[in-house]
Amino acid sequence: MAKVAPAPEVAGADDQQANKLERESSEDFPRSLVVKKQSGLFDFSNSEAIKEKVRANKFKKDPYNVHDRYHTSGHFQKIAKNPKFENTTLGVIVVNALWISIDTDLNHEDETIFNAVWVFLLADLMFFTYFSVEVFIRFMAFKNKRDCCRDGWFVFDSTLVTLYAFDPFALGLVAKLSSGGGLDLPTAVLRLFRLARLSRLVRMLRSLPELMIMIKGMITAASAVGYTLGLLILVTYVFSIAIRNLVPVDSDIEGEFFTSVPEAMHSLIIFGTFLDALSDFIIPIKEQSTPVFILCWVYIVLAALTVMNMLIGVLCEVISAVAAEEKEIMIVDKVNEKFSAICQELDKNGDGELTWEEFKGIMDNKDAMRALESVNVDPVSLVDMGEDFFFEDNVPVKVSFDEFMGMVLDLRGGQAAAVKDVMGLGRRFNKKLFKTKDRFKGFQTKLEEMEEMLKTLAA
C-alpha cells in the first residue's frame, strides 16, 4: 500500500509553497474533477451539459445573423428586416401548400400548363411572382452580393424559385412551342418534383418552437431508438429459430405463420409486437402446439410489453431533455435581448465592459428591473453577488458582457446547485483564505521585526 504524504503545513510555508498550494487548489484539483462530456446512449439527459452547450453557443463571438450582412440603409434592407415581410411570406407559403393539393386533384393537364384552366395558370403565376420578388428583395438587401451564396436559407429559397421557373413554366413553354405535340418526357414523374415546393414549410419551424422540439427530439432519439429496435430484432430472431424447431411439421400454423425463419420473424413482429389481430394468431397456435403457444406469449411479454414500453420511456426522456434545452435557449435569448441594449447604455466609456459604478446604474433603470423580474432574478441578490463579482481584495475590477450574462443566468430562481458550483465556491474561499494567510504572515513578520528591535533597544 502506498503511503499517503502528510498534508503540508500551510501556516508555516513560505510564499512559494503557498502559491503552489493556491494553484493546486484553484486549478489542478477542479480540473481533475471536471465532468467530461458523456459519450453513452443516454447523454441527452445531462441537464448541466445542456445548459453549458446552450450558453457556449449563444455567448460565442460573432454569432451568425443574416441581418448583419445587409445594408445599413435603403429600402430593400428595411423591407427584408421587417418582421411583417417574413410573416407575410410564411402566410403565402401556407396558402401555396394548400393550393398544391387543389392543383393535384383538379388540374389534369400534364403536357403544358398553358392548356390548363386559367385559374391554375393565374395561381401559379401569382405564387411564382411573389417568391421571385421575395428572393430579389433579399438579394438586393445584401451589402456584398457574394454573401448570398453563404446564406443557407437564401440558397434554399432561390433553388426552389428556380425549380418553380423550370416546372411548370419552362417545360410548358417548350411544349407549347413544339407545335402542341408535347414533350417526350415522364410528366408524371416531373409533377412529383413539385413536391419540393412543400419544403418551404421548413421555414415555419423557426416560428413554431413546439414543432422544432419534436423534430429535434426525433433526431436526438435516433441512436437510442436504433439500439432499441436492434434489441427487438435480436429477440425476434432468437424466438423465430426456437419456434421453427418446435412447430409441428406440415401443420396449419407452420404453413400460415412459420414457413421459414424470416416468415416467422415477420409473423412475430406483426402479431406479437404490433398486436395486430392477436386472437387470429394465438388461438390456432394454442389449439395445435402448446410449446409454441408458451414461446409466443413469452415473446409478447418481452417485445410488446417490455421493449416497446422501454422505447416509449426513452422517447419521453428525449423530449423532456430537448424541451429543457429549448427552454434554456429561449431564456438565454431573452436575457441577451433585454440586457444587450441596457448594458450598452450603462457602459459609459464604451469599452464593452462593466464597472461597479456602471453596474449600480441597474438599480435606477426601470427597464433593467423589469427585465430582471421577467427572467425570475431577484435584483437584491444580484447586487449582493455583484459586490463580490466586481471586487477582488477590495480592488474594483471590470466584468465583460458575457460574464455578466452568465451571472444573471446563474441567479435565476429555481436553479439547482451542482457539484461544480460547490467547487467554484470552494475555489473562491480557498483563494481568499490563502490571501488572508499571506496578510497574517506579513503581520507576523512585522511583529518579529518589532520584537527584534525592542530586544536590541533593551540590550
Give domain status of residue 337, yes or no: no
**Over the stretch 7-22, which tens digit does the pLDDT of each residue have?**
444 444 444 444 444 4
Residues 166 and 267 in one domain: no
Least confident of 186-190, 370-374, 393-397: 186-190
Residues 376 and 270 in one domain: no
Instruction: State the average pLDDT over residues 240-264.
Output: 91
At residue 412, the 3 state secondary structure works out as strand
pLDDT at 59 over 70: no
The CA distance from 143 to 80, in Å, is 12
3-state secondary structure 245-313: HHCCCCCHHHHHCCCCHHHHHHHHHHHHHCCCCHHHHHHHHHHHCHHHHHHHHHHHHHHHHHHHHHHHH
pLDDT of 271: 92
Residues 238 and 307 in one domain: yes
**Over the stretch 141-192, which tens digit does the pLDDT of each residue have?**
998 888 888 888 888 888 888 888 777 777 667 666 665 555 555 555 666 6
Residues 179 and 91 in one domain: yes
Residues 178 and 253 in one domain: no
Task: Give the pLDDT band of residue 120 (cuts 50, 70, 90).
Answer: confident
More confident site: 313 or 360 = 313
Residues 79 and 202 in one domain: yes
pLDDT of 397: 76
The CA distance from 215 to 245, in Å, is 43
pLDDT of 25: 43
Average pLDDT, the chain: 75
Query: Exposure of 29 by Cβ count < 10 A (0-12 exposed, 13-18 middle, 19+ buried)?
Result: middle
Provide φ and ψ at 353, rounded to 5°.
-130, 155
Instruction: State the average pLDDT over residues 437-458.
Output: 81
Q: pLDDT exceeding 90 applies to what percent of the chain?
A: 15
Residues 256 and 165 in one domain: no
Residues 80 and 139 in one domain: yes
Instruction: State the average pLDDT over residues 388-413.
Output: 72
Instruction: State the average pLDDT over residues 384-396.
Output: 70
pLDDT of 193: 65
Task: Give the pLDDT band of residue 268 (cuts 50, 70, 90).
Answer: very high
Question: How far is the CA of 80 from the CAs of 13, 53, 70, 148, in angstroms?
Answer: 67, 31, 9, 13
CATH of the domain at 300: 1.10.287
Give domain status of residue 151, yes or no: yes
Residues 197 and 230 in one domain: no
Give domain status of residue 213, yes or no: no
Task: Give the pLDDT band of residue 301 (cuts 50, 70, 90).
Answer: very high
Instruction: State the average pLDDT over residues 251-279.
Output: 91
Q: How many domains does the chain have?
A: 3
Which range of residues forms the domain containing residue 174? Answer: 68-207
Residues 79 and 189 in one domain: yes
Residues 284 and 376 in one domain: no
Which of residues 260, 290, 324 is at a domain's end? 324
Give domain status of residue 100, yes or no: yes
Which of residues 207, 230, 265 is at a domain's end? 207
The CA distance from 362 to 348, in Å, is 13
pLDDT at 280 over 80: yes
Could you tell me the three cell numbers for 60? 460565442
Which of residues 277, 309, 324 is at a domain's end? 324
Name residue 231's beta-bridge partners.
none
pLDDT at 402 over 50: yes
CATH of the domain at 135: 1.20.120.350
